[in-house]
Amino acid sequence: MKNRWDDKTLAKQDKRPKAPVPFDERARRVFLEALQRTGMVGISADAAGVRHQTVYRMTKKNEYFAEMYQEALCAYRDGIEKEAHRRAVDGVKKGVWYRGARVGTEREYSDSLMQTLLKGNRPEKYRDRLDVDARVIAGVMVIATADAQEPEQSDSWADENREVIDVDSED
């Protein structure tokens, strides 16, 4: 993809402001179709011949357009989620090569996509967790180590499993 902001391109640009391109019904339709395919506002705005700022202003001014904008993004997200599911569950056929010749195919599955789908669909079960057990005792924060047992008595637990951070002192 060509960099739109390289020095040569900037030098060639006309210094006079250009007349605004109308964001009419045709341009909005082109934008929404591109947004549904790509999920990227900048690329979709370019396809419609408008600036992305124009699109954002329209979403604030026109409630119907804002709804259509959200629907296009939802359709894009549904599409990539469907593709992630296909790659994780159904897999993708890859060629098997031996001495430069294709000798067959194998199906390759994506464990990382499966993990991502599980985290998204069942976050209570599959999300990344970080459990922190911290207590403040006499102005000192006590943080249990990973192998600490639940305290039977608060003082003995704190004595055995502490990383001390003095909350009263200034660094």
Tell me the C-alpha distance between 82 and 117, whole Å: 10
Helix, strand, coil content of the chain in percent (nearest 5): 50, 15, 35
pLDDT at res. 157 = 54
pTM score: 0.59
Position 16 pLDDT exceeds 50: no
Contacts of 13 (CB under 8 A, 6+ apart): none
Question: Residue 131 region, left (φ>0) first, then alpha (ψ -120 to 50), else beta?
Answer: beta
* CA-to-CA dists, residue 145 to 89, 109, 158, angstroms: 38, 37, 10
Domain boundaries, the chain: 22-78, 84-126, 134-166
Is the pLDDT higher at 51 or at 15?
Answer: 51
Lowest-confidence range among 84-88, 99-103, 137-141, 148-152?
A: 148-152
**pLDDT digit string, tens, across residues 105-139:** 999 999 999 998 888 888 888 888 776 666 766 66
Give the pLDDT confidence of 34-84 residue by residue, as tens digits: 999 999 999 999 999 999 999 999 999 999 999 999 999 999 999 999 999
Stated length of the chain: 171
Residue 114 phi, psi (nearest 5): -60, -45
